[in-house]
Amino acid sequence: MATRTVDFEDTLPVDGGKEHENDFNQTDSMIERDRGSRAFIGFVGPAAALFFGYLFGVTFAAFFKLPLVIGYTVGLGIGALTATWLVSKSYITNDAVAAFVTVNPLVTLSGGGSALVTYGPGFHFCFPWEQRSGGNNVDLREAAENFAVQVQGTTGTIHVKYSVRLRPDINRLPEFLAGAASVASDLGGVISAVIVEQLATKGVKGAVAELPPLNAMLEDEFKHGKSQGEKASDFEKRFGVIIGDVTVGEILPSKEVQKALDGASESAALDEVVARTLGYPSIKAVHTAVEGGKLTSEQVAYATENALAMTDNLHGMDVKRQTFTLRLQGDPDLIEAAKGLVPIAPALMGALNKGAQGGKQKGAK
């Protein structure tokens, strides 16, 4: 079983011992973004559009010697339309468990840092020139993925079923959008490889007993706490996800191996029934008694047939027994002679029955 190393920082209480709310609900406060500049542009932009629209109208009217009322009316109209457009482009609203990613073309032109900007749940100011696309909406809810892997153990084939719960990491949404199509299959491949490596050197029975240690190892390998930060695994950083849980729910041998195991268990149970029927503690003691002459093979066979019948394991065999009761009276010598026929009485009765059936068939012809 893999040992687990605990970072001391992970054991420290957060906010006076209370778990941080962001550990469970990913909020916009977890995202680094220039909020002040965006709020300033959101308020000043529409007001500036109205002012410059009015100024443009007045200047235009004065230049062409038109009435000022026409100039500032047209100017205010143009400013109002521009201000309305700016207001509609200056904010983003997301659902409670959703995020959105925009592209800032000014950063692209300047060759600065990342041009992708993330906005979390709720209402947020943004730059009006940021480009938006419906495909950049991200659902932050956790989803479950189910996988199955086949492992060739040392004594047979093993089938393993496991599930993974993961969700997008709000701090790495660009990476998530880039690999969203393949994250599930890639994650299944990585975890399956770890499971195969863990169970390939074990027998079927050992693999079945490996379920709790295997789950503990997978948790240590892939689950890095509620708040990832820079402690996220390489896989999480690459695909921008948070792995909430990895659980192996089932480890079973193949049908062929299961059938063989069931046969072995059934045989052991029948041996115990036979031994108890004959009054011995184990089948080994029964064999010893047969070798010592205390039991006969016929007695063991009789007890075996009874055990098969009691456990409904005859599998099509037809076992018939007949009991014959002989009452002999008369000459003692004749009685002694008749006693000698008792061991072969069943065979004689069988022969007589066959003869009677043959006579009926000939009579019918």
Q: What confidence score (pLDDT) does residue 285 get?
A: 76
**343: which residues sit within 8 A by CB, 6+ positions away?**
none
The pTM is what?
Answer: 0.63
What is the CA 109 to chain-centroid distance, rounded?
45
Q: What confidence score (pLDDT) does residue 325 get?
A: 55
Name the pairing type of β-strands 157-168 and 241-253.
antiparallel
Q: Report the amino acid identity of residue 16.
A: G
Closest by CA to 172, choosing from 37, 21, 10, 26, is 26
Which mean pLDDT values do the consecutive 10-residue runs of the chain (365 residues) have?
A: 32 37 70 94 94 92 88 92 95 94 90 88 95 92 91 84 92 89 85 90 84 87 58 82 88 67 60 73 76 74 66 50 54 59 55 53 52
Q: What confidence score (pLDDT) does residue 264 get?
A: 56
Q: What are the tokens at 219?
A: 């948790």
> Distance between CA 145 and CA 155 in Å, rounded?
29
> Distance between CA 133 and CA 219 in Å, rounded?
36
Beta-bridge mates of residue 248: 162
Q: What confidence score (pLDDT) does residue 21 get?
A: 41
- In this structure, the number of other CB atoms found within 10 A of the CB of residue 92 comes to 20
> Distance between CA 356 and CA 350 in Å, rounded?
10
**pLDDT 10s digits, 73-125:** 999 999 999 999 999 999 999 999 999 999 999 988 887 778 999 999 999 99
Q: What confidence score (pLDDT) does residue 331 get?
A: 58
> Distance between CA 36 and CA 33 in Å, rounded?
9
> Distance between CA 274 and CA 303 in Å, rounded?
6
List domains and CATH numbers for the chain.
8-12+140-252 (3.30.479.30), 27-138 (no CATH), 254-316 (no CATH)
> Distance between CA 163 and CA 293 in Å, rounded?
59
> Distance between CA 192 and CA 182 in Å, rounded?
15
The total number of residues shown for the chain amounts to 365
With contact defined as beta carbons under 8 Å apart, do 101 and 177 qualify?
A: yes
> Distance between CA 45 and CA 235 in Å, rounded?
42
Closest by CA to 28, choosing from 19, 18, 38, 16, is 38
Q: What confidence score (pLDDT) does residue 210 get?
A: 87
Q: Report the amino acid identity of residue 154.
A: T
Beta-bridge mates of residue 124: 92
> Distance between CA 363 and CA 207 in Å, rounded?
68
**Plot region of 111 (φ>0 → left; ψ -120 to 50 → alpha; else → beta):** left
Q: Report the amino acid identity of residue 124.
A: H
